[in-house]
Amino acid sequence: MMIVNAEKCIGCSQCVKDCFPRDIEIVDGKAKINNVTCIKCGHCIAVCPKAAITTDEYNMEEVKDYNKEEFNVEADNLMNFIKFRRTVRRFKNIDVEKEKLLKIIEAGRFTQTGSNMQDVSYIVVKEELDELKSMTFESLKVIAENMLANPTPETVAFTRYAKMWLDMCEKYKEDPKANDRLFFNAPAVIVVTANSDVNGALASSNMELMTNALGLGTFFSGFFVRAAAGNKQISDFLSVPEGKHIVTCMVIGYPDVKYLRTVPRKAAEINWK
């Protein structure tokens, strides 16, 4: 429930104006939250000039007052930071601290979600990573064999991936350490699950930025997501929450490569109306 402290409230109506579901009104010069259509987005908490609004559903100790020194990011620096990010597949044999993994997840937790669903969940795999690899390689092998044995107009374009997966699986069995072309011997994986693909992807994008800010590297393993799709063994192993599905898989570690510059990209395709 969203709660208004009537003693602090000055009836400025900023919360009323900023409430998208229109759940707030001014009554007798004070804000009144009806808690009927409220989606608990917290805009009223953030916009109130007197900090008169709280909630008993979330931890209010997480709320921070704005100050320019700690909150502002210069636009050109942010753009360069985004341009400089690279997908990393070369990792040092160094463990990733739990504190850093939690900070990455925190970046996902505070990412916006549609209707404030907050439906994104996170599965961290470290100790049981070898077991997950084995299941994933086996799943890719089965998928590849089926694609090659029973080609369809939809799968024929992916034949090269099927052949690649079979080669990856064979070489991994020969030497798992030298031929890990799935997770590249990274020490940690975060599997992002959600009800909504959009919510999970938005959270993952912010998580990647935090990963880079912490001096770590990551890549999104589309091969793993493909292997896990519809695979009950992998889903059960990861304890994917009921009603949710895997959206992304972030492979994380300390980079064993140093990039010295940004790279070019195609021009943006823009249609101005």
pLDDT at residue 22, rounded to an integer: 97
pLDDT at residue 158, rounded to an integer: 87
**Which residue from 45, 43, 70 is spatially nearest to 55, judged by alpha carbons?**
45
C-alpha pair distances (Å), 120 with each of 60, 79, 237: 20, 26, 18
| Percentage of the chain exceeding pLDDT 70 | 100
pLDDT at residue 155, rounded to an integer: 84
Q: What is the number of other CB atoms lying within 10 angstroms of the CB of residue 88?
A: 22
What's the token pair of residue 44? Answer: 């009223």
Q: Pairing mode, if any, of strands 30-33 and 53-55?
A: unpaired
**Which residue from 150, 152, 145, 101 is spatially nearest to 123, judged by alpha carbons?**
101
Lowest mean pLDDT among 67-81, 147-161, 233-247, 255-269: 147-161
Domains, the chain, in order of start with CATH, read 2-62 (3.30.70.20), 79-273 (3.40.109.10)
**Which residue from 58, 72, 156, 162 is spatially nearest to 110, judged by alpha carbons?**
58
Reported as a single tens digit per residue, the pLDDT across 35-76 is: 999 999 999 999 999 999 999 999 999 999 999 999 999 999
pLDDT averaged over the chain?
A: 97
- Cα 169 to Cα 138: distance, rounded to the nearest angstrom: 7
Reported as a single tens digit per residue, the pLDDT across 122-165 is: 999 999 999 999 999 999 999 999 999 988 888 888 899 999 99
pTM: predicted TM-score of the whole model, two decimal places: 0.94
